[in-house]
Structure 1
Amino acid sequence: MSDRQENEEPRQPRNLQGLLNFCTEITAREDTTGPSQLQTMDPERRAFLEEALTSMAVDGVKEMAKAVKSLYSESITMPGEDISKQKEAMAILEEYVDDLNYAMDLHKMGGYPILVQCLNSPHTSLRIGAATLIGDICQNYLYCQENMLALDIMPVLLLMLDTDEDTQARVKALYAISCVVRDCPKGEAEFLDADGLSYLMRAMQSGVEKLVIKSAFLLTKLVKKKDSNRATAVSMGFVEQLLTVLGSEKTDNISREHCTDALRTLALTYPPALAECLRPELNVSQILTSRLDDIKEKEETQEEECYIKEILELMERGSIGDSDESTNR
């Protein structure tokens, strides 16, 4: 047996059969007196283990159904009510919805509409919980994205992002928006039709670290896909806004990395964005060169360093191109 095989951990079980196989493998490994190959579990022992595990198994669909029933309560709409049961229900759903099958089951049992209702709850914890669940449910699952969008969820999430009095609720609203929009043409269209980029701009201007990071991340995803998104972003002043964030001493490293990536993507894919970077009054070269001096060869900022170098190279080539064009006139 190779070192790699000997040190490799058994695959974690995801169902009853997997759990049985897991137990078989662990048992074989613990039997150091036997041969190194896995042994077939004794049928009687296997039957006993299967019965024990079945009795312990939780029916996820039933658990989710109970949680959804608990959420359908007037207390979610009334300030000052005890919502401990509803918070527990959210926690139960959170345990399951990362699995696509359970996320689809939640839709079939009528769980999506109540989550949308919870986004308007006077209880902050329920708004946060609902937005988190919506994001988890929709992440990379087109079926879930489209069925959630059918509930006209986009305006609700955008309003929550823009106006919620709780910062964490705003962060989770943006998380949900990003998960509904990414790799979903209908979601992207609804986001743009609702002037979503303006909401991203305001989130980026908020000074809240997580909002800056998530807005820059979503902006990067959007401008990678379409010229029309790049044109809109540049016309709205996103190049200047990104530079404002990057020029601030208060900006943290993670925000800088994501904002630099967004700027790099715009400059790389859309010539008018590069032209913006070349405007002398924006001091792009000075801002980026100064930052590069601060982070050079620091392991934790390697990605940002690469982005900065690429932008500076693009600007240098752009400047040479402008000079050549002027000479030929």
Structure 2
Amino acid sequence: MAGDGMKWDGLLKWSLAHSDGTQPPRNLSEEDRRWFMEAMQAQSVDVVKRMKEITMVMRTPEDVLESQGITPADIQDMLDELQEHVESIDMANDLHSIGGLVPLLGYLKNSNAGIRAKAADVVTTVVQNNPRSQQLVMEASGLEPLISNFSLDSDVNVRTKALGAISSLIRNNKPGIAAFRLANGYAALRDALGSENVRFQRKALNLIQYLLRENNADCSIVTELGFPRLMMHLASSDDTGVREAALGGLLELARDRTSGGSTTLAEEDKLKQVLKERIESISSMSTDDLGAAREERELLDTLWSACYNEPSSLRERGLVVLPGEDTPQLPPDVAGKIFEPPLRAWAAANPSESTSGSNASQEKKQQSPLLLGPAPGNSST
């Protein structure tokens, strides 16, 4: 895309020339606005063209690519580029229309572990906060190879990336959650908690917490599968993220009123022992470490209260809320942070701005875009 560089160089130089902060924002002239939109439209067309080229490569049989000297590293680089393009929701949805989604999902079954992992990474980006692409991936039977890789792959990185893609695919997607349950997904999550890879454990715990928050009825399932004991063990992990996610999962179980979750947990001597040990560890922390452990402090206190109907000793010692900290309103949503990438979260919160044909979108298109500084050819007064 050598020719595109000239367009972007021009846009960059122009933007820099008129955004030095010395002038107030001004509307573009009609001529400059037209030039700007044409340049942006030309780039969009080129991105689609490039995605079509990548799709052609993905459709090419593996042995043919090898005969042409294409290596697995080359394929991973190509998938890296594709991932950048599908950061845009529009481009992510276009991937299916140009025929690229199915061969991308095919790469989940590639013989090379690096390609399988990278393909799952791209799928994650495609479906994040994107109901349309979630539906398209489900219709293309994309959940099946992801669950297979998550459950059975010999490479822990492939398993971790597949879990990340599953998490993004089924978030706010009721058919996806139902399919995950039917595919014995909870059993695979239980196995993941027994892994020695902390990143894999964190992702599994965060998905468990999200699923329990979405449907309290699943608390009975995870209890029967032995999750509470596993989460109690992980609540003493050396990894902060694992500890917080494990405590968050236990808190969801404690809040379950349908199966008496708090009573069941309260009867576990191991839980009380774990919580006491964590409370003592926090009580001996320095001021800086206490600040970093704020979420864990809140989780410990809330979980203790839910199970034993009394404040924890952290509260008695004044360590739940330190001087200068706001009083917590709700326990922290540890899992939510994992599933809310900024770009897609913004798009999900502003559907009218990303939906063509909506009144809000049309009104925004009619407004002249603003840049910092005067438009070219206009003198400041």
Q: CA distance change for structure 1 residues 202 and 318 in 2, over 3 Å: closer, same or farther?
A: farther
Q: For residues 62-141 of structure 1, what are the structure 2 equivalents within 5 Å?
A: 62-75=49-62, 82-141=71-130
Larger CA deviation: 154-163 vs 23-32 = 23-32
Deviation at 1:114, TM superposition (A): 0.8
Deviation track 1:124-166 (CA, whole Å, cap 9, x = no partner) reads: 1210111001111111211111111112222311221122122
Q: CA distance change for structure 1 residues 290 and 236 in 2, over 3 Å: closer, same or farther?
A: same
Contact kept, 8 Å, 2:247 with 2:300, in 1: the verdict is: yes
Q: Which residue of 1 aligns with 2:153?
A: 164
Q: Which residue of 2 aligns with 1:175?
A: 164
Q: SS of the counterpart of 2:109?
A: coil
Deviation at 1:227, TM superposition (A): 2.7
Gaps of 5+ in 2: 1-6, 312-381
1:277 corresponds to which letter in structure 2?
A: L
Deviation at 1:178, TM superposition (A): 0.5
Q: CA distance change for structure 1 residues 293 and 73 in 2, over 3 Å: closer, same or farther?
A: same
The alignment status of 1:184 with 2:173, answered yes or no, reads yes
Contact kept, 8 Å, 2:120 with 2:161, in 1: the verdict is: yes
Question: Using the alignment, how far apart are the partners of 2:214 and 2:165 within structure 1?
Answer: 20
1:207 corresponds to which letter in structure 2?
A: E
Question: Using the alignment, how far apart are the partners of 2:260 and 2:187 within structure 1?
Answer: 20
Q: CA RMSD in A?
A: 3.2
Question: Using the alignment, how far apart are the partners of 1:192 and 1:172 within structure 2?
Answer: 19
Contact kept, 8 Å, 1:274 with 1:318, in 2: the verdict is: no
Deviation track 1:232-260 (CA, whole Å, cap 9, x = no partner) reads: 1122121111012224xx54111101111
1:307 to 299, 303, 310: 299
Deviation at 1:211, TM superposition (A): 1.2
Q: Which residue of 2 aligns with 1:267?
A: 254
2:20 to 4, 18, 30: 30
Q: SS of the counterpart of 1:258?
A: helix
For normalisation by structure 1, the TM-score amounts to 0.79
Q: CA distance change for structure 1 residues 52 and 237 in 2, over 3 Å: closer, same or farther?
A: closer
* Percentage of pairs with the same residue: 20
Contact kept, 8 Å, 2:266 with 2:308, in 1: the verdict is: no
Question: Using the alignment, how far apart are the partners of 2:41 and 2:61 within structure 1?
Answer: 35
Question: Using the alignment, how far apart are the partners of 1:193 and 1:28 within structure 2?
Answer: 57
2:276 corresponds to which letter in structure 1?
A: T
1:278 to 258, 266, 269: 266
1:61 corresponds to which letter in structure 2?
A: V
Question: Using the alignment, how far apart are the partners of 2:151 and 2:63 within structure 1?
Answer: 22
Deviation at 1:295, TM superposition (A): 2.4
Q: CA distance change for structure 1 residues 293 and 57 in 2, over 3 Å: closer, same or farther?
A: same
Judging by fraction of residues, say which structure has more helix. Answer: 1
Q: CA distance change for structure 1 residues 207 and 272 in 2, over 3 Å: closer, same or farther?
A: farther
Q: SS of the counterpart of 1:283?
A: helix
Q: Which residue of 1 aligns with 2:278?
A: 291
Question: Using the alignment, how far apart are the partners of 1:251 and 1:303 within structure 2?
Answer: 15
Question: Using the alignment, how far apart are the partners of 2:130 and 2:72 within structure 1?
Answer: 30
Q: Which residue of 2 aligns with 1:200?
A: 189
Question: Using the alignment, how far apart are the partners of 1:191 and 1:73 within structure 2?
Answer: 31
Deviation at 1:92, TM superposition (A): 1.6
Deviation at 1:60, TM superposition (A): 1.1
2:100 corresponds to which letter in structure 1?
A: G
After the TM superposition, which segments of 4 or more aligned residues of structure 1 sit over 3 Å from their partners?
22-32, 38-44, 46-58, 76-81
Gaps of 5+ in 1: 1-15, 320-329
Higher relative contact order (CA 8 A, sep 6+): 2
Question: Using the alignment, how far apart are the partners of 2:21 and 2:197 within structure 1?
Answer: 55
The alignment status of 1:219 with 2:208, answered yes or no, reads yes
